[in-house]
Homo-oligomer: A and B are copies of this chain.
Amino acid sequence: MERNVQTFIACEASYNEAGTVIFGAPFDSTTSFRPGTRFAPQTIRSESIGIETYSPYQDADLEDRHIFDAGDLELPYGNAERALETIEGFTKKILADGKKPCMIGGEHLVTLGAVRTVYEKYPALRVVHFDAHADLRRDYMGERLSHASVMQRIWHLFGDGRIFQFGIRSGSREEIVWGKEHVSTEMFTVKTTDAVARELGDFPVYLTLDLDVLDPSEFPGTGTPEAGGISWNELRGALMNFTGCNIVGFDICELSPHYDQSGASTALACKTLREMLLAFSKA
């Protein structure tokens, strides 16, 4: 008899047979306003039994995929660098085994760990970034490793022309001004995803989704809700535009379950992850 196993719904492949590996990065120590995203990976798993495995949008079913759920990494609270190293180590193993990483955050800083590692393997890497916030600060209260600086840190890996942001509607003036010169940003909306996806062609792409890109009406369960966001139908359409791209890794971040009394934000995160897994983890 097996000990109690809990995976994201229908992601029950063995590691060996899996093409995609889910893991959680329960870290929120640099969150500047309201912490709590550390609870997201586990909550997403346990609430995933409330959704169907079948997507009527894609006419596809998670039960036809081979996905392994590795559970959560053990990340030290209060030490961002060590947390990132742990994420890098695990991502490296997944990539070395020829599998695709799917990370569930945690705060957005965790993306830095995954991207650093994916970039090592794919030097031509591009990053597609959905978010309400630009995340382009040089530092936050003096800390360079901060959820508010994660895209700035990623930019330092490879410079201009690699980062494509969508849905941004919040930032300091300095961030927004800097961003105009160094990254490609669609402010407020996600209408250019189709064009960008075509432009990306065969380049390897890491796609990072900060769920607060959604309007807080549809996704209130997050630390810094920003009015004026996009709808889930818009997000779904935008994500689907990247189905044909060469997605080599992806993540979903910033659900904060304790601010989600109704459970609707968690349910939305589960459904979004299902759609991403079906679109980006073919076969």
Contacts and interface: CB of A to CB of B under 8 A. Distances in A.
Contacts of A35: 28, 35-36, 38
Q: Is the interface of A mostly helix, strand, loop or mixed?
A: loop
B215 A218 contact: yes
Interface of A: 1, 3-7, 12, 14-15, 28-36, 38, 42, 45-46, 49-54, 56, 59, 61, 68-72, 74, 76-80, 82, 140-143, 145-146, 168-173, 176, 187-188, 215-218, 220-221, 224-228, 232-233, 236, 258-265, 267-268, 271-272
B82 A80 contact: no
B30 A171 contact: no
Number of copies: 6
Contacts of A188: 56
A142 B227 contact: no
Contacts of A236: 228
Nearest to A50: B33
Contacts of A38: 35
